[in-house]
Amino acid sequence: MIKLYPVKIHTIFKSIFNKWIWSFNTDTKEIYLTFDDGPIPEITPWVLSILEKHNAKATFFCIGDNVRKNPEILNQIINKGHRVGNHTYNHLKGWNTNTKEYIENTLKAEEWLPTHNKKLFRPPYGKITNKQSKEILKLNYTIVMWDVLSADFDKNLSAESCIKNVLQNIQKGSIVVFHDSIKAFPRLKETLPKVLEELSKRGYCFKEIS
């Protein structure tokens, strides 16, 4: 089956959309794990326990409405030293949403998120218009994308494929996407522990985006 998304983001693409963060230029063996779509009671606490087992830090791009429903889990994320970013209030697809509504939805999510000097934003689906991007940047957000996609959201993939997506494409400074969502969990529950174990053996550390 042909994938409709790139697992590894090409350098040329990064250079074209250079106002967004795709990865970090570093000589240190460090990886930036990110989790989209939470917090979810059935999933996020499990993710936190796996991260803690491997002394790993991560960044969670949270949906505002999920934070409203599960504020105690957001507190768990923060208390364990992880970073939180904005993923809109209702997981809006930018390409299908007018700019005014998109910005209002982002600001609504912001009301439920902790305050940071550096605000992080990730567009759901990675789909955002140029106008929306400009407005988000005006709000002093750093737009964080990724350079390695686990594709754990894809029901047509096996966990083994998701593991390969990460391990075969990772490099120093990579930003990797997982999802702490019910949809992704059948693959995430096998993928995340094995990826952390293998990359730890390779000498990588796992940092939050600060």
Indicate which residue of 152, 154, 179, 180 is catalytic: 179
Closest listed residue to residue 140, CA positions, set 123, 124, 121, 127: 121
Q: Is 65 a catalytic residue?
A: no
Task: Tell me the angle at which helices 185-201 and 44-53 cross, rounded to the nearest 10 degrees.
Answer: 10
Rounded to a whole number of angstroms, the distance between the first and last alpha carbons of the chain is: 37
Q: Is 179 a catalytic residue?
A: yes
Indicate which residue of 36, 37, 147, 154 is catalytic: 36
Q: Which residues are catalytic?
A: 36, 179
